[in-house]
Homo-oligomer: A and B are copies of this chain.
Amino acid sequence: MDWAGRIRTMAGEARAASQMLARLPTQRRAEALQYAARAIRSDAAAILAANEADVARAADAGLTDAMLDRLRIDAVRIEGIAAACEAVAGLDDPLGAVIDACERPNGLNLTRVRVPIGVIGIVYESRPNVTVDAAALCVMSGNGAILRGGSEAIETNRALYHAFVEGLGAAGVSPHAVRFIDDTDRAAVGAMLAAAGDIDLIVPRGGKGLVARVQADARVPVLAHLDGICHSFVHGSADPDMAVRVVVNAKMRRTGICGATETLLIDRAFPQPERLLKALADAGCELRGDAETQAIEPRAVAASGEDWDTEYLDAILSVAFVDDLDAAIAHIAAHSSGHTDAIVAEDPAVAERFLAEVDSAIVMWNASTQFADGGEFGLGAEIGIATGRLHARGPVALEGLTTYKWVVRGQGQTRP
Contacts and interface: CB of A to CB of B under 8 A. Distances in A.
A19 B413 contact: no
Interface stretch (A102-110, A177-185, A303-311): A102-110
A410 B404 CA distance: 32
Contact of A406 (B19, B200, B377, B410): B377
A249 B117 contact: no
Contact of A363 (B23, B359, B393, B405): B405
Interface in A81-113: 102, 104, 108, 110
Contacts of A414: 245-246, 249-250, 253, 367-368, 370
Most chain B beta carbons < 10 A, residue from A361, A364, A367: A367
Contacts of A376: 104, 108, 415
Most chain B beta carbons < 10 A, residue from A253, A360, A409: A409
Interface in A361-391: 361-368, 370-371, 376-378, 388-391
The dominant DSSP class at the A interface is: mixed
Given A117-B389, A367-B410, A249 B355 contact: no
A149 interface: no
B389 A406 contact: no
Contact residues on A (Cβ < 8 Å of other chain), bracket: 35 or more
Interface string A3-26: 000000000000000010001000
A412 B245 contact: yes
A66 interface: no
A201 B246 CA distance: 36
Contacts of A52: none
A366 B242 contact: no
A118 interface: yes
A206 interface: no
A356 interface: yes
A221 interface: yes
A74 interface: no
A393 B403 contact: yes
A388 B196 CA distance: 11
A412 B242 contact: yes
B19 A390 contact: no
A239 B19 CA distance: 30
Interface in A395-416: 395, 403-415
Given A117-B389, A357-B19, A378-B102, A405 B412 contact: no
6 contacts: A110-B377, A117-B389, A201-B389, A366-B409, A371-B408, A394-B406
